Structure 1
Amino acid sequence: MTLNTAFDSPVHDAQQCFRRLLKAMSEPGVIVSLQLLRHGWQPLGVATTSVLLTLVDSDTPVWLSPALANDIVRSNLRFHTGTRIADTPDEAVFAIADENLNPLLPDRLAHGSVIAPEHSATLVLQVNSLSGGRMLRLTGAGIAEERMIAPQLPECLIEQLADRLHAGSLGIDLLLTCGDRLLAIPRTTHVEIADSGR
């Protein structure tokens, strides 16, 4: 088992990281930096690892896509957070994937219910860049009028985001990470494709 370091000051650093994540969730599309780690648990980047160290515990099962589920990640995730590694996406509170996203994954995650909308999953997606992709227009809570973003997302995910009939309390939250940077597209955010494609 290969263990990597976590936060130097676990309580203080997790609190600081949580504040940055709260900013990202309350201001969809705004990029925040999570720079409290020297490196992530490869192949996970710094931001993805920081999210796991901050939000995951023994009550929040994590599903890892096969490409990211190596022994280093599994060992460190269990050791530092006490979480259970979920066997299937529908068991997970957090799902971790990269740009080679299975198009069926978002639909397999928990979307909450009318009675318990908070029982929805968060998809943490590592992407090659948070810019240079299809232009997307975000509207909704936390956005004064609109916010334009262009992360490099799989086309299947872009279509799924744009096809949401209405943004509301049901659905999945999306955290996009690249290196030590992150932006959020909460389930309450409406997404429109603002360009005609590549």
Structure 2
Amino acid sequence: MDSLLQGGFADPVLNSQTSFRAIMDALANPGTPQDLVTPQSISHSLSPELVSTLLTLSDHDTPVWLDARLRADGTIGTWLGFHSGAPLVDAPEKATFAAASGAGQLPALDQFNLGTQEYPDRSTTVVLAVPSLSGGEMLVLRGPGIKDHLHISPQGLPADFIAQWSANRELFPRGVDLLLVADGQVMGLPRSTRIAEGH
């Protein structure tokens, strides 16, 4: 029980507000990393950045999907229930928020809830922990919230990410939003963003 109590924000209201603002800024400014408040994790499977986003976004009304690696660590589900009351779901398409500890643990994006034409906001927001938000292959972003274009180079994306993202964007206004987390930061890739390989 002690570890469950310790695995949260030091100042739950202030810290969650700060991280919520960072996540909103990340989605409003695609590809621009924002600083999260990162509490100590209660499991080596769950990065501090995943802890921060889960504590910030989830509550008893938001079904959460955890990847198989995170689900296998029973401590994480108990911890999340203790801090947020969020129900866990086994099916990705039933999740409001999804947390993946790495690209190898992430189902295809179209396996999540893509929303409907009437309620596109009911789609899943996917949070993917990556090794770093820089140092990977160059990608070019265009779209709302980006002046002209922006280069990013996160490490640890799925091998077929560009194709998956292109299919996701074609569903607009449906489709998932993606949050990449690493290095104490969050980078937002909303469904409206166009992503291409850099040259």
Q: Percent of pairs identical after alignment? A: 36
Answer 1 or 2: which has greater helix percent.
Answer: 2
Query: Would you say 1:83 and 2:86 are equivalent positions?
Result: yes
Query: Would you say 1:155 and 2:159 are equivalent positions?
Result: yes
Q: Aligned match of 2:55 in 33, 53, 56? A: 53
Q: Deviations over 1:65-90 (max 9, x none)?
A: 11122112111111000010102111
Q: Which residue of 2 aligns with 1:176?
A: 180
Q: Which runs of 5+ in 1 are unaligned?
A: none
Shift of the 5–170 alpha-carbon distance from structure 1 to 2, 3 Å rule, reads: same
The answer to whether the Cα contact below 8 Å between 1:34 and 1:46 also exists between their aligned partners in 2 is: no
Q: Deviating runs (4+, > 6 A) in structure 1?
A: none
Q: Given the two structures, how large is their TM-score scaled by the length of structure 2?
A: 0.90
Q: Which moved more, 1:128-137 or 1:107-116?
A: 128-137
Q: Secondary structure in 2 aligned to 1:54?
A: helix
Q: Which residue of 2 aligns with 1:10?
A: 12
Q: Deviations over 1:73-118 (max 9, x none)?
A: 111111000010102111111111112134x431110111111111
The answer to whether the Cα contact below 8 Å between 1:89 and 1:105 also exists between their aligned partners in 2 is: no
Task: Give the deviation of 1:167 after TM superposition.
Answer: 6.8
Q: What is the letter of the counterpart of residue 94 of structure 2?
A: E
Q: Secondary structure in 2 aligned to 1:100?
A: helix
Between the aligned partners of 1:181 and 1:148, the Cα distance in structure 2 is 17
Between the aligned partners of 1:72 and 1:83, the Cα distance in structure 2 is 14
Shift of the 181–21 alpha-carbon distance from structure 1 to 2, 3 Å rule, reads: same
The answer to whether the Cα contact below 8 Å between 2:35 and 2:184 also exists between their aligned partners in 1 is: yes
Between the aligned partners of 1:167 and 1:179, the Cα distance in structure 2 is 31
Q: Which residue of 2 aligns with 1:189?
A: 193
Query: Would you say 1:40 and 2:62 are equivalent positions?
Result: no
Aligned length: 193
Shift of the 188–132 alpha-carbon distance from structure 1 to 2, 3 Å rule, reads: same
Q: Given the two structures, how large is their TM-score scaled by the length of structure 1?
A: 0.90
